Structure 1
Amino acid sequence: MNISVLGCGRWGSFHAWYADHIGHTVTLWGRKGSGHLAALMEQRKNEYLTLPESVKLTDDLREAVSAADIVVISISSQQLRAFCRDLAALGLDLSGKRFVLCMKGLEIGTGKRLTTVFYEELGSAMRVAVWVGPGHVQDFVRGIPNCMVIAAREMKLTRELVDTFSSPLIRFYYGEDLLGTEIGAASKNVIGLAAGMLDGFGYSSLKGALMARGTHELSRLIEAMGGDRMTVYGLSHLGDYEATLFSPHSNNRRFGEDLITGKPFAKLAEGVYTVEALMDLSREFHVELPICATVYAIIHDHKDPKEQLTQLFLRATKSE
């Protein structure tokens, strides 16, 4: 199978490494002038992994897309709409290709899911899925296995992609609720920010309460949006809590901790953007999201973190 991965950051380079690892023919694309791509071209490695020579590197988007049966997109979620327009501008017939979105987020300003953005820009007839779930690049490249989920609007596509990407290293499950899978995957990064803030204050024992209440409030949102409220308890959200709320490799957890301790943090933490979209959805669907609202108040309104977190976990007595 010819697989092209678009985006050569941490996860993009991993998806290329993984697809090659399980026997596919792989092209990895990065933007011209990208520091990530330049480092890979020069040394075939980054801080996470070493790419074998069998993975082709290119900055030619047309070449990468043309060569692919399956196109994996692994970029910042907020860049997806503009990137889809770049794909459309190529003038290629994309109808026979399968696309996989390997990122987690919601569009700021609209609250739209990433597959919705993709369909709006490239057409509702396109075949697109999402690949989400727990795991860290650092663990996968050491041979530590994990479980992940692929979800699409049509189960036929989900099954095709699970068959293509399954291996002893990653066991894939079929996602049957695309909406819930996308909302769950995006929102777990916001819960990760809150977890990091608790770590920063030395309140890590509150993570149990955070997990219980986080899943509850987001299950209510998913249900209000028309999804299955139980999806949030699967791999896209609760199943990803260990990797996001506890692991030292979690960018979102680290961002929250460093915010409290006053350290600079330069890497991408998608939850910072996702919480804006979640607050828009909270208003649109009239669902209270107290954890998300607290994270938003701390990060975007610059409210006092200790006061906000104390209010969150010591709210007026109520039924669980």
Structure 2
Amino acid sequence: MKISVLGCGRWGTFLAWYANRVGHEVMLWGRESSKHYLQLKESRMNDYVTLPQDIMLSNSLEAAVSFGEIIIISISAQELRSFAHSISLQKGLKDKIFVLCMKGIEANTGKRLSQVFSEEIGISSNIGIWVGPGHVQDFVREIPNCMVIGSDHIEVTKKIVESLNSSLIRFYYGQDLIGNEIGAAAKNVIGIAAGMLDGLCYSSLKGALMARGTREISRLVRAMGGNDTTIYGLSHLGDYEATLFSLHSHNRRFGQALITGEPFDKLAEGVSTVKALQYLGQKYEVELPICNAVYEMIFENADPKEKLIDLFLRPIKFEF
């Protein structure tokens, strides 16, 4: 099978490497001006993986979209709408399966990424998502993990899983697109909160953060029409280890750096996602105390120690 991967950052480059590893013809696309693309073109390697010679590199979006039967997209979540519009100008899209491999929510609309993408390309029947735990640094060391493929159409889900399942990544069928998308995005916000606790040397509170974080996001998913138990699966709770504890987690590291005043220049998708969750909490009238606290600390300069202590010492109530 021919697979195109659009986006040659850390995760996108790994996805091209992985698709090639499981036996597919692969074309990896990047913008001509992208530092990631230029590095790969020059050396065929980045800080994490070395691309086999049979993976094709291209800066032509037309060529990449035309090439793949399955098209995997891995770019910044907030850039998806404009990028999807560019894809919509290409030909033959009805014959393709698109797999979104980002974890985010459109900040200014609160829309899930599958909604954003389908609005722009005018097709909804051939879109899937790929979410769940895993770091490039672990996969390239042959450390396996479990992830989720989801779609509103089970045949699309099955086609993606059958094409990409392996001993390195075991896939589960995602049955709840709302819960999986919201859960995958929201875990990055909980990851920022975890980093803040690390920065304050309050890491022992991460257990409480995990318990309460899943509860508030499950309430939001239920209000949005999803299955609240999805939050306790791989897309959210199952990704906590990789996000709340891992040294590789950009979101956790961002939260810690915010507290300690250290510079941090990597993409932390949770920063934009917390804006979207503020909007969704108000729209669906769901209380999101952890998300609200993170928002106030990032955007309203709330005192982190005071805000986090207040958060975990709220008025006494029944747990469930």
Same structural fold, with TM-score higher than 0.5 when normalized by the shorter chain: yes
- 1:176 is displaced (CA, Å) by 0.4
Q: Which amino acid aligns with 1:203?
A: Y
Instruction: Measure the CA separation in 1 of the matches of 2:166 and 2:138.
Output: 15
Structure 1 gap segments, 5+ residues each: none
Q: Which amino acid aligns with 1:286?
A: E
- 1:88 is displaced (CA, Å) by 1.4
3-state SS of 2:93 partner: coil
* Equivalent position of 2:20 in the other structure: 20
* Equivalent position of 1:38 in the other structure: 38
Task: Summarize the alignment of residues 223-242 of structure 1 with structure 2, pairs less than 5 Å apart.
Answer: 223-242=222-241
Instruction: Measure the CA separation in 2 of the matches of 1:272 and 1:306.
Output: 19
- Asked whether 1:201 is paired with 2:200, we answer yes
User: Any idea what the Cα deviations from partners look like across 1:66-98, whole Å, max 9, x if unmatched?
Assistant: 0110000000000000001111123x1200000
3-state SS of 2:128 partner: strand
Instruction: Measure the CA separation in 2 of the matches of 1:71 and 1:217.
Output: 34
* Equivalent position of 1:292 in the other structure: 291
- Asked whether 1:183 is paired with 2:189, we answer no
Instruction: Measure the CA separation in 2 of the matches of 1:109 and 1:254.
Output: 25
Q: Which amino acid aligns with 1:95?
A: K
Instruction: Measure the CA separation in 2 of the matches of 1:306 and 1:125.
Output: 44
3-state SS of 1:100 partner: strand
Task: Summarize the alignment of residues 61-210 of structure 1 with structure 2, pairs less than 5 Å apart.
Answer: 61-90=61-90, 92-210=91-209
Structure 2 gap segments, 5+ residues each: none
3-state SS of 1:95 partner: helix
Distance 1:126 1:84, change over 3 A: farther
- Asked whether 1:48 is paired with 2:39, we answer no
Aligned structure 1 segments of 4 or more residues deviating by more than 3 angstroms: none
TM-score by length of 2: 0.99
Instruction: Measure the CA separation in 2 of the matches of 1:316 and 1:275.
Output: 24
Instruction: Measure the CA separation in 2 of the matches of 1:266 and 1:52.
Output: 29
Distance 1:125 1:276, change over 3 A: closer
Instruction: Measure the CA separation in 1 of the matches of 2:92 and 2:24.
Output: 22
Instruction: Measure the CA separation in 2 of the matches of 1:54 and 1:298.
Output: 47
* Equivalent position of 2:7 in the other structure: 7
* Equivalent position of 1:308 in the other structure: 307
Please tell me whether the aligned partners of residues 191 and 252 of structure 2 are also in contact (alpha carbons under 8 angstroms): yes
Q: Which amino acid aligns with 1:57?
A: L
Q: Which amino acid aligns with 2:15?
A: H
Please tell me whether the aligned partners of residues 125 and 153 of structure 2 are also in contact (alpha carbons under 8 angstroms): no
Distance 1:125 1:177, change over 3 A: closer
Identity %: 62
TM-score by length of 1: 0.99
Which range moves more in the overlay, 52-61 or 281-290? 52-61
3-state SS of 2:268 partner: coil
Instruction: Measure the CA separation in 2 of the matches of 1:300 and 1:187.
Output: 17
Instruction: Measure the CA separation in 1 of the matches of 2:149 and 2:246.
Output: 23
- 1:284 is displaced (CA, Å) by 0.2
Q: Which amino acid aligns with 2:25?
A: T
3-state SS of 1:202 partner: coil
User: Any idea what the Cα deviations from partners look like across 1:55-75, whole Å, max 9, x if unmatched?
Assistant: 111101100110110000000
Instruction: Measure the CA separation in 1 of the matches of 2:86 and 2:44.
Output: 26
Instruction: Measure the CA separation in 2 of the matches of 1:255 and 1:200.
Output: 10
Q: Cα RMSD (Å) of the superposition?
A: 0.7
